[in-house]
Structure 1
């Protein structure tokens, strides 16, 4: 063998077979998911009532723009602008419904003033050991007319003597404590007295719950003025008897015996001071009857001749 002979090298290329891929598995999974969803929908529709199926059908008939606008098919327009119709300037098309209660809502400044007043009154009451127990008889809430402060009566701690407008000492102290705090607000004020539906037992000469509630409201006014409230701030003092009971309370409940102090919004005060007057109706033409009309009227008012009874032979 020749030592110088070159060795023979055989190169064999390793062939790697390509993977078949798993895309068919994804497609099969999607198909099985869609098929299962179809079976579920068919099963739900089979178990649903007729009204439920009609509701589902109406949902799919609703246009997309209407659904996005939060409307329904029968009342909403095809515009995605709520209440705008085809014309966002409202020159044509739908008109936005106006809630008149929005015009009676307090401004942010008024609400802050009223909330600050409530906090200061509560702090002054809690700082006085003799008035601390009266906090449970007070209610603060915002109404369409203003901030309402209610002082409620109880069987254990009445505000006035029984059947009288004589103010109890703790009620007098409470009103005189609130007076300088209320006086710091520029708002005018209304006071109303309320009673339960029990008739006034000692009434002489027609004295009733109307007179009692009015007298108690006026007695509260005197105590507030004595405590430092400016008399010019008082716009209305009224007695309501038992006509406005507390919500969800029986009319004989002692909580209906209460005094309401109302801090009025400026708009409400103006409407009380100068109520709007309705315009006079247009004068209708006066009809003056002629001679022919008078003759017809007299003939229509003449009594009908009496019927003669049938003669019996």
Structure 2
């Protein structure tokens, strides 16, 4: 044993050191994740409880976010969307609209200038309507046949369309308000042309000076002219002219003869359709009226005034 070589004894010691600091970055990441999840579930809840119209408003807003700034029109604040604001002025809490130069100029106008501007618009609109009706009559072979019985003139009250009787081609049966077939065709085509006119319309019936039976106490030319005007109104409305555009329907009998030198001439028996200017409308109705766009005409009843002599 003594001869055996002694072997060294090796002692291994593990040196213990402190762990390195990891910091709290993971806590911030976890907090961001939880915040995002809460926002996601809140969004899902809001979408589930929002009406379809409001969702469509949101979709439209995000599809065209620059619509107000680039093209004008309604801002998002005054639309059906739940998003408020919109427009170029960031100090405004509600939606804004871009005003055109014409609107700005109108705001600077005096009442007289504004009235003159409306008169110019009326004149241009009525002139275009006259051309349209002339073209309809010219291009329609059936109407062109009755061209001599249709008279279109510009008057101080507006565009006047007169459909007159002919000796061999009356518009109504004698002493009756029954519309003849060709008269119905004329009224229907004119009514279709008047469907999109913004101005109001006056409708009048006329007779000649021949007495109607015992008209002093019974049914007279006054009632006959009023009934014929109302029958014409029904044909115009059936063709598409809104009833609310009529400002008055009157029977004038023989008080406003077309040919005063010949009181019994067939041309005195006629229907007069007048597309009124703004000034004439205010004058006839005796009050100032606001400008009414076609799409916003009130649902009014036709004002069937009692027949009376023209002043």
Say if 1:183 and 1:228, in contact at 8 Å, map to a contact too. Answer: yes
Among residues 129, 137, 149, which one is paired with 1:137 in the alignment?
Answer: 149
CA apart distance, 1:275 = 4.5
- Total equivalences in the alignment: 174
Instruction: Please list the CA deviations of residues 269-304 of structure 1 after superposition, one character each: whole Å capped at 9, or x if unmatched.
Output: 22333459xxxxxxxxxxxxxxxxxxxxxxxxxxxx
CA apart distance, 1:179 = 1.0
Instruction: Please list the CA deviations of residues 154-209 of structure 1 after superposition, one character each: whole Å capped at 9, or x if unmatched.
Output: 11111111110000111111111111211221000000000001111386960010
Instruction: Please list the CA deviations of residues 89-134 of structure 1 after superposition, one character each: whole Å capped at 9, or x if unmatched.
Output: xxxxxxxxxxxxxx99983332222222122112212222222111
Among residues 252, 255, 267, which one is paired with 2:264 in the alignment?
Answer: 252
Among residues 127, 130, 133, which one is paired with 1:121 in the alignment?
Answer: 133
Pair 1:194–1:104, CA change in 2 (3 A)? farther
Question: Which residue does 1:48 correspond to in 2?
Answer: none
Q: Report whether the alignment pairs 1:234 with 2:246.
A: yes
Say if 1:104 and 1:144, in contact at 8 Å, map to a contact too. Answer: no
SS in 1 for 2:141: coil
Question: Which residue does 2:170 correspond to in 1?
Answer: 158
Say if 2:150 and 2:162, in contact at 8 Å, map to a contact too. Answer: yes
CA RMSD in angstroms comes to 2.4
- State the TM-score, normalized to the length of structure 2: 0.52
SS in 1 for 2:168: coil
The equivalences for 1:162-241 within 5 A come to 162-201=174-213, 206-241=218-253
Say if 1:139 and 1:151, in contact at 8 Å, map to a contact too. Answer: yes
Say if 1:146 and 1:263, in contact at 8 Å, map to a contact too. Answer: yes
Say if 1:199 and 1:209, in contact at 8 Å, map to a contact too. Answer: yes
Among residues 99, 107, 128, which one is paired with 2:119 in the alignment?
Answer: 107
**Structure 1: unaligned runs, 5 residues or longer:** 1-102, 277-313
Distance 1:208 1:202 in 2: 7
Say if 1:105 and 1:144, in contact at 8 Å, map to a contact too. Answer: no
Say if 1:193 and 1:217, in contact at 8 Å, map to a contact too. Answer: yes
**Structure 2: unaligned runs, 5 residues or longer:** 1-114, 289-311
**Which structure has the bigger radius of gyration?**
1
CA apart distance, 1:268 = 2.1
Distance 1:105 1:251 in 2: 41
Pair 1:231–1:157, CA change in 2 (3 A)? same
